[in-house]
Structure 1
Amino acid sequence: MSAATVSQQENRAAGLRYKLRLAFRDPTTLIGILAALLFAYLIIVPIVSLLVDAGRVQFGDERRIGTEPGAWTFYYINRALFSPISNSLFWTPLFNTLSVAFGAILISLSIGGPLAWLISRTDMLGRRWFATALIVPFMLPTWTFALAWSTLFKNRSVGGQQGWLEAMGLTPPDWVAYGQFPITVILALNYIPFFILLFGNALRRFDSQLEDSARMLGANSSTVAFRIIGPMMLPSLMSAIILAFAKCIGEFGVPYVLGLPVNYDLLATGLYRSISSRQTGVGAVLAMAIMMIGIIALLVDARVVRESRKFVTVGQKGAMARRSSLGAWRLPATGFAIAIFLISVALPLLTLILSTVMRVPANFNISNFTLDYWIGTNLEFVALRNGILLSSQMWAAAWNTLWIVGTASLCSGLLGLLVGYVVVRTPIWPLSAFLRQVTFFPYMVPGIAFAAAYLSLFAVQRGPIPALYGTAAILMLALIADQMPYASRAGISAMMQLGKDPEEAAQVAGAGWFRRMLTVVIPIQKGALVTGVLLPFISGIKGLSLFVILAVPATDVLTTFSLRLIDYNYSQAANAVVLIIAAIAYFGTVLAQKLTKTNLADGLGS
């Protein structure tokens, strides 16, 4: 090696050491390292712990397996995948999950795709009103609509109580009341907004000049649709399909309400059964399967997004807003949108509201109406002596919900802003890349699997960290980690738009890093902070998957309290609690839009 080469390497090494010294003089680097360690522990370690549980003998299984607890074993993988009972443990729930997911996506695409086109590209009557009204299911808990379905269609042969149709003399068959058909329909109605938002947003940005140019060259309508519009819209359509599929894989509330009564298991409810029956090892295998399917789906979506960059149009902005005239089809198209609104929004919510003020289902005599389930006293229920609004249990669950979710959301928002600051400001790009990726990772893991990972890590004491299961701390930590994709993206987006000049001016004036954050960065980025707090708060309020695994009676929240009422067959009271949750989620979403000056109806963007 020549002396010149050695000298160049020494100069590069010296330059690198100088850059590192400069980087570590800035508190941003130290904060970034601490944040990286924190999120590695809150996100990566629980998932690794779950993977380990699938391959180690769990306490209580040592006699069955014949080895000591903690020893390595393939017993759980073999039991879940290859044993005589593997069909009921894994393969049948997997088949049911995929069947429901593909069925729901097919229905929601068939309805949501045309609605997105009608709202975005035509002169349909009430177009702007429908743009908001039809995405209401996106703002509400999915299992709200499952409870409405159960109220209408349940029968005494399975549910023990009659629904509205049976009370009116029409007994729905079991396959309509429970199982694959209702789960598929409910999820399809809930995912229609995905296509209206994602596909509709792409349609709004599509340049009409491309259609005009094709028609000038002699192309007919089918050629324009399949050769021009189709290829341009395919990436956004595929993205909506994949995201809906990823959410469907981890869905718990709907199959819990409509599947468990007839033992129709999906992977999520199978995981819940395994954990409830203390089959931790098998549950870890199921959680791994859910996690892998979710990760694969979102990696495919990332590939689709990269491919979509090949489809770029350049045109005048004003040409994009022109809409097609429906002519004679204008009234039928409006009627179609009204029908979907009635089926997916109005009818379920009206059913739930009426069910909470009726003693006997579907009896519309004025004497049958009552407010007992809301404000009554000395009710004849063993586990609920007063109406929901007078129930100490409900108010305790509401308080737990507000302070647990609120604290976690505030922490998520502040951490998201710090992550955004470090990602944008740190000169150490590996640290920036790690924080960007690790805080997005929980989005790739369905909530039920993420909850199982936290249960695996915190169920027992590990080193100086005590066992947290049964405390509010485990719920807050899980919520903080689970909501970081939203909070960190809000923080990164905001900091990318903030130049260094305000901070540098404050630094020249003698302000330290902490003071600059309090007096410059946070006041300027308060909108991003509000977004980073409100979005996790709304998601946490209506979330179920994390709480159903990690909450205990002492940390009951509104979602788990309503599920317990469902288990007791207290339908009216359960529906009342769900309506309270739905109201908080809906008005919270509206408030978030007002404060951040955004509108879901304008699309989710990328």
Structure 2
Amino acid sequence: MFRGRAATWPGAEPVLTVGAGLLVAALVLLPVGMLLYTSLRVEEFGEAAYFSLKNYTEFVVSPRILRSIGNTLIVSTGATLLAGFFGIGLAWSHARTNTPGRRILEPFTLVPFFLSPYVGAIAWSYLAAPRVGMLNGWLRWLFGLETDPLSVYNRWGIIWVLALFFTPVMYLFVIGSLRRMDPALEESARTSGSSILQTTRRVTLPLVTPAILSGAILVFVSSAGEFGVPLALGSPFKIETMTTQIYNLTSGSAIDYNASAALSTVLAALTLTFIYIHRRVVLPRGYTTITGRGYRPSLVALGRWRYVALSFNIAYLLMAVILPLLALFLVSISIRWEGRFDPRALTLANYAYVFTYPLSARAVWNSLKLAIAGATICMTLAILVGYTIHRGRGRGRAALDVLSSVPVGFPGIVLAMGILITYIRSPLYSTLWILLIGYITRYIPYGQRMVSSVLLALSPELDQSSRTSGASWITTLRRITLPLLKPGIVAGWLLLFMIFLREFPISVLLYKGGLEVLSVAVWYFVEHEGAVRTAAVAMVQVGLLLGAIFLFRRLAGADELAV
């Protein structure tokens, strides 16, 4: 009986891989198709609905929408350039130099990624808002200024916050490539007389160019699709981006799902263009930097410049981690907030309110359930899809690779719009399942890319040798492939857990009363509560994220995050 069952195991490969592929296809194509369908549908009062390009030819080219498109391009480009500067510099100093304290600094460098950019924008409003910003107060007192020198309520403020909180995305892409690079390539350049700068410019950076470009594309797409930061820093002063305009069209008294779908399609077309560039330009530039010979990447001795690198690290952490978290904490323990911290007016009542108020208490539990279940399901699909693409022999591998990348080109609020239209009349609507579907659909490319980056570095001869020795596909997967994929799996699960715990645009569009998550609770408190209670619920989210990253770093090790 057991032999008969074992004989059926080889059939598990096509069943699991094809099933995963079909599920991913359904998750992606249904909302995308419904979004396009709705964008072409014109509904006018008193007339039968008909199909036309009117939503594009009349609405999308209106001056208000064109301004939002221009703002989106400006802030996305600026954030990508600034995040690239921070991310590449930090990754190189941590992976390839003798910068003092780099092992201690590394986990703190990743903290901004785990925070919600929306929460980061709120924190920076406490720091650099006119009249009530702590930094403005300190600078006025220090230099005797009469006016506020800083303000985040403009395009530069949006770029600044986006760059700070998307820098870890670039960092994670680049540091993994740097750590896997054969040091003999750089040593040969130095032996030939090249300086540190010349070696970095002519050897190191070209070899990690695919990782840099991949990170830059993801940062640009993420910035273009970011909803929380423009909502917090731009909307109050009429600086609208495409995402805030999409949301405005789906809320309030002037709801127009057809126009919102048309604008969503335009935004998706913009970001999908960069995905196409990634596939046609970036991927062909990949280089083999891992060989069968064992090695340990050597470190570059910076001499006195190592303290400059250390100062660069500390400056970034001060701006991206220390000051925002300090501002949130000080505001959260204050009885009231008027722009300065008063040690005589401290309280923990704000936290008591968060944990006793039904909406915020419910939001904590809902967020944890969705983050754990979503990350587990998403990584399971990612492993099967990644294996099918890079180790399978079917004809549909290229199509599956393209299909699994499509959600990257759809900002969260855009994909949420398609999911809302698709499932609004199904039993899934008004349940946590629709949020789970939204999270998995939007972020499965993240898990799949984490798995694929490790698979591409592994020789297929390992799997082939196992199968030649008589091991089944399941046995090979369990004993060979999965242990070698552990860094990608652990890092991918962790990243997805953090993303789901802080996800905002999908949550705010798909949630209904009773289904609130933490990010929605923060937004609700911004709209209906004071600054002190808003800071308290934001700190609860931050605390959960920091506790999770500490736990998983202890379980998985420090190097598991870099893939």
Q: Tell me the TM-score normalized by structure 1.
A: 0.78
Matched, 1:389 2:355: yes
1:484 matched residue in structure 2? 444
Matched, 1:340 2:306: no
8 A contact 1:235–1:304 mirrored in 2: no
8 A contact 2:9–2:472 mirrored in 1: no
| Cα distance, 1:449–1:572 mapped onto 2, change above 3 Å | same
1:409 matched residue in structure 2? 375
Paired residues for 1:376-525 under 5 Å: 387-417=353-383, 419=385, 429-459=394-424, 461=425, 466=426, 468-488=428-448
1:551, distance to aligned residue in structure 2 (A) = 0.8
Structure 2: distance between partners of 1:316 and 1:526? 19
2:68 matched residue in structure 1? 93
Matched, 1:556 2:516: yes
1:73 matched residue in structure 2? 52
Matched, 1:188 2:188: no
1:443, distance to aligned residue in structure 2 (A) = 2.7
| Match 1:260 to one of 235, 238, 246 | 235
| Cα distance, 1:484–1:171 mapped onto 2, change above 3 Å | farther
| Match 1:322 to one of 292, 299, 302 | 299
Gaps of 5+ in 2: 1-6
Structure 2: distance between partners of 1:360 and 1:120? 44
| Match 2:31 to one of 24, 27, 46 | 46
Structure 2: distance between partners of 1:30 and 1:102? 43
Instruction: Tell me the secondary structure at the aligned position of residue 334 of structure 2.
Output: coil
Structure 2: distance between partners of 1:413 and 1:137? 22
8 A contact 1:207–1:315 mirrored in 2: no
Instruction: Tell me the secondary structure at the aligned position of residue 107 of structure 2.
Output: helix
| Cα distance, 1:426–1:137 mapped onto 2, change above 3 Å | closer
1:48, distance to aligned residue in structure 2 (A) = 0.8
8 A contact 1:29–1:422 mirrored in 2: no
1:570, distance to aligned residue in structure 2 (A) = 2.0
Structure 1: distance between partners of 2:78 and 2:158? 10
Deviations 1:31-82 (A, max 9, x none): 5554444333221011011011110124xx344xxx412x212221123233
Structure 2: distance between partners of 1:592 and 1:131? 15
8 A contact 1:202–1:233 mirrored in 2: yes
Structure 2: distance between partners of 1:282 and 1:241? 30
2:4 matched residue in structure 1? none
1:186, distance to aligned residue in structure 2 (A) = 0.6
1:263, distance to aligned residue in structure 2 (A) = 1.6
| Cα distance, 1:116–1:262 mapped onto 2, change above 3 Å | same
Paired residues for 1:18-167 under 5 Å: 26=11, 28-58=13-43, 61-63=44-46, 67-69=47-49, 71-82=50-61, 86-89=62-65, 91-155=66-130, 162-164=132-134
Amino acid at match of 2:414: A
Amino acid at match of 1:482: R
2:213 matched residue in structure 1? 238
| Match 1:354 to one of 319, 330, 333 | 330
| Cα distance, 1:372–1:28 mapped onto 2, change above 3 Å | same
Structure 2: distance between partners of 1:574 and 1:582? 12
Matched, 1:577 2:556: no
8 A contact 1:122–1:325 mirrored in 2: yes
Q: Which has the higher mean CA deviation after the structures are superposed, 230-239 or 390-399?
A: 230-239
Deviations 1:64-121 (A, max 9, x none): xxx412x212221123233xxx1212x1111101111122223233333333333333
Structure 2: distance between partners of 1:175 and 1:266? 22
Structure 2: distance between partners of 1:119 and 1:325? 12
8 A contact 2:60–2:263 mirrored in 1: no
Structure 2: distance between partners of 1:413 and 1:445? 20
Structure 2: distance between partners of 1:179 and 1:261? 10
Amino acid at match of 1:548: V
Matched, 1:568 2:528: yes
1:581, distance to aligned residue in structure 2 (A) = 1.7
1:139, distance to aligned residue in structure 2 (A) = 2.2
Q: Which has the higher mean CA deviation after the structures are superposed, 429-438 or 546-555?
A: 429-438
Instruction: Tell me the secondary structure at the aligned position of residue 553 of structure 1.
Output: coil
Amino acid at match of 1:73: S
Instruction: Tell me the secondary structure at the aligned position of residue 359 of structure 1.
Output: coil
**Percent identical across equivalent pairs?**
26
Instruction: Tell me the secondary structure at the aligned position of residue 27 of structure 2.
Output: helix
1:522, distance to aligned residue in structure 2 (A) = 12
8 A contact 1:148–1:352 mirrored in 2: yes
Structure 2: distance between partners of 1:478 and 1:565? 23
Structure 2: distance between partners of 1:224 and 1:388? 53
8 A contact 2:374–2:440 mirrored in 1: yes
8 A contact 1:409–1:536 mirrored in 2: yes
8 A contact 1:478–1:546 mirrored in 2: yes
1:547 matched residue in structure 2? 507
Gaps of 5+ in 1: 1-21, 157-161, 376-386, 508-512
| Cα distance, 1:503–1:29 mapped onto 2, change above 3 Å | farther
8 A contact 1:442–1:481 mirrored in 2: yes
Structure 2: distance between partners of 1:337 and 1:595? 26
Considering only aligned residues, what root-mean-square deviation do their CA atoms show, in Å? 3.9
Deviations 1:224-255 (A, max 9, x none): 55544554444433333222111111111111
| Match 1:300 to one of 242, 257, 277 | 277
Deviations 1:123-175 (A, max 9, x none): 2221222222222212222222111111123347xxxxx44467777787698
| Match 2:153 to one of 162, 178, 181 | 178
| Cα distance, 1:422–1:310 mapped onto 2, change above 3 Å | closer
| Cα distance, 1:324–1:290 mapped onto 2, change above 3 Å | same
Structure 1: distance between partners of 2:540 and 2:432? 22
Instruction: Tell me the secondary structure at the aligned position of residue 430 of structure 1.
Output: coil
8 A contact 1:412–1:484 mirrored in 2: yes
8 A contact 2:91–2:175 mirrored in 1: yes
1:201, distance to aligned residue in structure 2 (A) = 4.0
1:538, distance to aligned residue in structure 2 (A) = 2.4
Kindly name which structure, 1 or 2, has the bigger radius of gyration based on alpha carbons.
Answer: 1
8 A contact 1:155–1:171 mirrored in 2: no
Amino acid at match of 2:416: A
Q: Which has the higher mean CA deviation after the structures are superposed, 46-55 or 193-202?
A: 193-202
Amino acid at match of 1:80: F
| Cα distance, 1:437–1:195 mapped onto 2, change above 3 Å | closer
1:440, distance to aligned residue in structure 2 (A) = 3.7
Deviations 1:338-358 (A, max 9, x none): 222111111110110111011
Deviations 1:242-289 (A, max 9, x none): 221111111111111111111211111111111114211111112112
8 A contact 1:487–1:533 mirrored in 2: yes
Deviations 1:294-353 (A, max 9, x none): 2221222233433433576989865841312332x3334323322221111111101101
